[in-house]
Chains A and B, each alone.
Chain A
Amino acid sequence: MNGEALIAVAPPGMAAAVEDRGAGEPVALRERRRAALEEALARPPPSPTDEAWRRTDPRRFDPERWPIAPAGPLHAAPDSPPNGALVEPFDAVLTVWAGGWSLADRSGVVRSRALRVRPLGEVVTSDPAAASALWEMAPSLGPRDRHELWALALASPALVIEAADGVRLERGVLVRSLAPPDMLWCPWLGVRVGAGAALHVAERLEVGAGGAESAAFVIAAIRFAVAAEGRLRWGRLQTLGRGALEMDYVFGRLERNAQADLVSLQVGSRAVRSRIGAEAAATGATVRLGGLAVGVARQHLDQQTVQIHAAPDTSSDLLFKVAVRDRAHSVYRGLIGARRGSVRITALQRNHNLVLNDGARADSLPGLLIDADDLTCTHGATIGSLDLEQIHYLRSRGLPEPVARRLLLEGFFEDILGRLALPALRTAARAAVRDHLAAMV
């Protein structure tokens, strides 16, 4: 379908926004945006009776009710001073906002070409196969989500971070994603880790301007491609305000002996629906996934994880922890998929939930979908509350009950925070969790 035909059938402004984004891009990318929009339009909107949406009302995530954030080079960065303590230790800081981005090369890694950040359009021209692999990357467990297709069609900025073969960027890149208030924003980020390279990426997602309570709707797509023997450590702290909606489509693919260590920390937002996962696509690949989510008030947290094993001798290890209080509702859905022929694999999946008061709710749906025979898959899920014996023990040592509870909660999350590679991110995350918990106890 051409641009005009799409304008005729798409929701008001949607097709124009797609055309607007595609204007300065190579034809191949523009066509892909249109194809994504077309596919999204062909699919019925999600309904509360769909199995995948039974626990999360899709009407809360209706992109058509939001104005679309502007794209293009004309828009200035939002006025948000970078957090000094968090910025300090990184090799480079990439700031991304609606309509623009900037890169601070703090230790000369960009100058030396160890690290490159460029728009997806440029990658499409210089390395079409790599661009296509990133764009199309998905868990392939069925047709793609309508929301994910919106996010592809409207992707902006669409950037790719590349670590050259063999480089080791231990201090890594900080990505500051600043969502525009009161708009629908679909940032797209590709990460390519070269053969034998090591890269750390720490991402902080927050609302760029306006108060903590300001509304925003973010549908973020993040794709990783880790080449043979490469290593990626990625951690993401989401502290959008209480008025925000957030959807994530995070997926990566690992080649031979590659490693990925992904940690998601969900603290903010009124409602979250995220899917995070990776595919061990070649022999020896190892995936570690960690997640932490804290729900208060009427927050709704719907998180899905996907561990796909498509090659022999691969392993994955997942730990997701959730605490809910007040009227918050958490839904965790986990899936381990083992494709035929993926022999000698080990897959672990653990989900632990704390329900801190009556009225809060935690659902856990840990799933195994196994088509291979030579493997060991284990999943475990628990739902419970803080242990009364532990509380009493702490009180018998002089700690008042609220302090005892806070300490136990911090301890509950500590192993997830421990999975964060970068101390700076760990410190920021610990503080964000503590702030959120301080309001919790």
Chain B
Amino acid sequence: MPSLPNDNRLLRDYEHGFVSAVEEELVPPGLNEEIVRLISRKKNEPDWLLEFRLGALRAWQRKTEPRWALVRYPPIDYQSIRYYAAPKRWTAGEGLDPEIVNTFERLGIPLDERRQLAGVAVDAVFDSVSVATTHQKLLEEHGIVFCSFSEAVQRVPELVRRHLGSVVPPADNFFAALNSAVFSDGSFCYIPPGVKCPVDLSTYFRINAAGTGQFERTLIIADRGSEVSYLEGCTAPMRDENQLHAAVVELVAYEEATIRYSTVQNWYPGDDEGRGGIYNFVTKRGECRGPRSRISWTQVEVGSAITWKYPSCILRGDDSVGEFYSVAFTNRRMQADTGTKMIHIGRRTRSTIVSKGISAGESVNTYRGLVQVLPGAEQARNHSQCDSLLIGNRCSANTFPVVESENRTAIIEHEATTSRISEDQLFYLQSRGVDPETARSLIVNGFCREVFKQLPLEFAVEAVKLLEIKMEGSIG
């Protein structure tokens, strides 16, 4: 069983590092057709979905794991990972295990109907299954479907079938193929035409079981003229071993629909020596399928041993808009390789990229981005701003944007800077009586402001607090 590192600073730093004593039903480790069939059977899935999974498994078996120049980790033994873990009482239909309710309570997410968070409907995912979705009644009044992915397969199979894999095809990349084969649960959301979702929707992911990977799948469909804001939060216990998280998120925005997707990712990053932590290999992509649609990604990445994700937008509809706002903080031996892709297909499509990377300790923080303007994307516009801040002299910050234009009328601008916290700014604040640590955190907050202001208010407050905690003791 995993042990908790007995280090006060670490505990304060990663306060979500506890393990819940929940009896879980586990499948044996390993990945083969039998396991995939077993997962599908447990979820009582229709044949087409089993076929989808098996096709993805075959694609995955043909693919080789990607190697990235600036990301280093020991080989992952995919046969030693458990691909399914679910709380026993839940699967037996005996309601929620009080320990799970407790877990989410400690994470600040009450599942109890009477005390649930105002203004946010939460889908809580514990290891492989969605355990509770709040605010159901209110959502139903508006015709909004917001439930666990497994439930959606039963409730609205046609919607799921039509959209699943339509933005991220099962064979898209190694980790997307893996997810498509074994995805366990996740959230599904459908907003009917013209509906402005009255509350923010949210999924909270919790990895609890040891030796388990988490492979959730999220699908959000915003029909014509609808609007939704979606929040995603993630934590995991501190364990010495590395755990794999390979999620797929697909967004589809139809004509004049808007989807705002915000993430605060605080998976366990491992200890000072680089032991343990989550490998966060995620494929997130949205398609602006209809004209004048809009997809906006905002992410605050402060956890995980390794992060590899590029939330992207396919701007297919004319006049559609894609946005990417990101703060990535790395410390200790963390490695973050993140960025976005903006694919301009439709006319007058616009995209904005704001990426703020902060590296401390011995971490490596890399921005990788692609802005592609295809020949038909008349008058496409892109503006990218990628800034890196370095704290200490043992970390690295890399920026690798790719800009491609095949249209004469497109205008693309990319700017990037890398610098350390300015001595002048520090001195100025200190001369006004602010201690250096607070001064640094003020400066870093200012550096990230453009991204934080994209987040819903409570989330932004949370993000600022989180970054402050993460920054403590990071001054080398």
Contact = CB atoms under 8 A, between A and B. Distances in A.
Are A and B direct contacts in the complex by CB distance below 8 Å? yes
Contacts, number: 121
B408 A340 contact: no
B352 interface: no
A320 to B, nearest CB: 13
A359 interface: yes
Interface string B141-167: 000000000000000000000000000
Interface stretch (B35-43, B327-335, B388-396): B388-396
A360 B408 contact: yes
B375 interface: yes
Interface string B192-225: 0000000000000000000000000000000000
Given A358-B375, A373-B393, A375-B420, A383 B415 contact: no
B413 interface: yes
B388 A359 contact: no
A372 B406 CA distance: 36
Contacts of A360: 406, 408
Given A377-B419, A381-B414, A362 B400 contact: no
Given A368-B398, A373-B395, A381 B403 contact: yes
B395 to A, nearest CB: 7
Given A363-B403, A367-B399, A384-B410, A376 B393 contact: no
Given A373-B391, A373-B392, A366 B401 contact: yes
A382 B419 CA distance: 21
Nearest to B392: A373
Given A365-B402, A367-B400, A370-B388, A380 B416 contact: yes
Contacts of B409: 358, 385
B434 interface: no
Q: How large is the interface on A (under 10, 10 to 19, 20 to 34, 35 or more residues)?
A: 35 or more
Contact of B416 (A361, A362, A378, A384): A378
A307 to B, nearest CB: 13
A341 B394 CA distance: 9
Contacts of A435: none
- State the majority secondary structure of interface residues on A: strand
A381 B401 contact: yes
B111 interface: no
A230 B391 CA distance: 35
A169 B113 CA distance: 85
B454 interface: no
A377 B420 CA distance: 10
Interface residues of B, number: 35
Interface stretch (A20-28, A37-45, A59-67, A349-357): A349-357
Contact of A368 (B373, B405, B408, B418): B418
A378 B416 CA distance: 5
A383 B408 CA distance: 9
B139 to A, nearest CB: 44
Q: B-side binding surface: helix, strand, loop or mixed?
A: strand
A414 interface: no
B397 A370 contact: yes
A373 B420 contact: yes
B284 to A, nearest CB: 23
With a 10 A CB-CB cut-off, give which of A343, A362, A380, A381 has the most chain B CB atoms. Answer: A381
B252 to A, nearest CB: 29
B412 interface: yes
A369 interface: yes
Contacts of A362: 404-405
A371 B394 CA distance: 7
A376 B421 CA distance: 10
A363 B369 CA distance: 13
A203 B397 CA distance: 37
A132 interface: no
A374 interface: yes
A383 B400 contact: no
A165 to B, nearest CB: 36
Interface of B: 69, 373, 375, 388, 390-420
- Of all A-B residue pairs in the complex, the 10 with the closest CB atoms, nearest first, are A368-B399, A373-B390, A377-B418, A383-B412, A364-B403, A383-B405, A381-B414, A384-B411, A363-B404, A373-B393
